[in-house]
Amino acid sequence: MTTTPDAPAAAPPVLSVRNLVKHFPVRSRGLVRRQVGVVHAVCGVSFDLAERETLGLVGESGSGKSTTARALLNLQPATSGEVFYRGRELTRLSRGEMRALRRDLQIVFQDPYASLDPRLPVNEIVAEPLRIHGLYGDEGRTVVRDLLRTVGLKPEHGNRYPHEFSGGQRQRIGIARALALRPKVLVLDEPVSALDVSIQAGVLNLLDELQDELGLSYLFVSHDLSVVRHIADRIAVMYLGRIVETGTAEQLFASAAHPYTQALISAIPLPDPRKERARERITVVGDMPSPVNPPSGCRFRTRCPKFADELTEAERQVCVDDNPALVDRGQGHPAACHYAESRTLL
């Protein structure tokens, strides 16, 4: 495998997602269970992931991040859209065909308590992927020991059960399991959200080190913009099933163009009393609307401060009628707002 660390963008992406859509039917209660509506969980998401790159997918809970992650790994069938891994389309693969590709595409889950089988000792948990793919063999035991050491766990503890470990250690077990198949792409669904900060930092550093050494690509899903800024090269901001802004981490933080990104950046308190108290803020009102009845046009318009305070009646009508495309409107990176305008908020 050749790597070109200095020009990752020039190489073809490892993973490409095009117009990914995932709808969940809402059924009535009772015996017949008619379909009475649709959860528009993910509505036309597209992005690329380059080799050795970390793409941060960030947004509030319910914005469709996990659904995107699961659909692109074929854990839940996508409603429509395409996912290409090294040129191969994944969404139409059979389970058997997908199985072989699972060695390259792995996932780490959010909840370190729920994502490990409580009835298996850690050695077995980490060996599970090897066994499934017939790779355990004679050296299986050694491989598992090495994996545990790699993620900073003591191999002697391999006979223990998950509940005997702390949250941070469990998340490392989850990472070891995902690494066992030596994947190329790791999807990380809120891998540190359940951890205390001092523990979370350890897991983030570990991910950094693994990426450097193993040349992995990460799709890092998180609701925490600070974590994403720390770990990601590029960031995609999601709102109600759509990506509303993408760019490199520097672009996004230096000149956020979408009102939602701006609000998100504003809302995160800085651990620095003087800066925090002197900040300019863009605040939003209300909660994210239900994805069962998303607003027409721009989905953010019901909470958009620009829509509410700055636009004329005619301009607003555009937000109500037209879904803003995710394109560069002169800010240097794409944002899905008809009236995108860069702001520096930090």
- Residue 67 within binding range of Mg ion, rule CB under 5 A: no
Q: Greatest CA span in the chain, whole angstroms? A: 72
| Contact with Mg ion (CB under 5 A) among 16, 54, 63, 66 | 66
CB 155 within 8 A of CB 143: no
- Sign for the CA dihedral angle at 271, 64, 110, 135 comes to negative
| Residues 29-68 contacting ligand ADP, CB under 6 A | 39, 41, 59, 61-67
Give the neighbor-by-neighbor strand order of the sheet with 242-248: 105-108, 185-189, 217-222, 54-58, 234-239, 242-248
CB closer to other proteins, 209 vs 328: 209
| Contact with other proteins (CB under 8 A) among 30, 138, 273, 280 | 273
Distances from the Cα of 93 to the Cα of 19, 23, 75, 107, 183, angstroms: 17, 19, 12, 18, 19
Binding partner of residue 67 among Mg ion, other proteins, ligand ADP, none, CB cut-off 5 to 8 Å per kind: ligand ADP
CB closer to ligand SF4, 227 vs 304: 304
String marking each residue 228-257 x if it binds ligand ADP according to CB under 6 A: ------------------------------
- Residue 256 within binding range of ligand SF4, rule CB under 6 A: no
Say how far apart CA 87 and CA 12 lie, in whole Å: 9
Say how far apart CA 174 and CA 34 lie, in whole Å: 39
* Minimal distance, residue 213 CB to ligand ADP, in Å: 29
Residues binding ligand SF4: what is the number (CB under 6 A)?
Answer: 12
In three-state secondary structure terms, 243 is strand
CB closer to ligand SF4, 159 vs 283: 283
Q: Is 118 exposed, middle or buried (0-12, 13-18, 19+ CB in 10 A)?
A: exposed
Residues interacting with Mg ion, by CB under 5 A? 66
Residues interacting with ligand ADP, by CB under 6 A? 24, 39, 41, 59, 61-67, 291
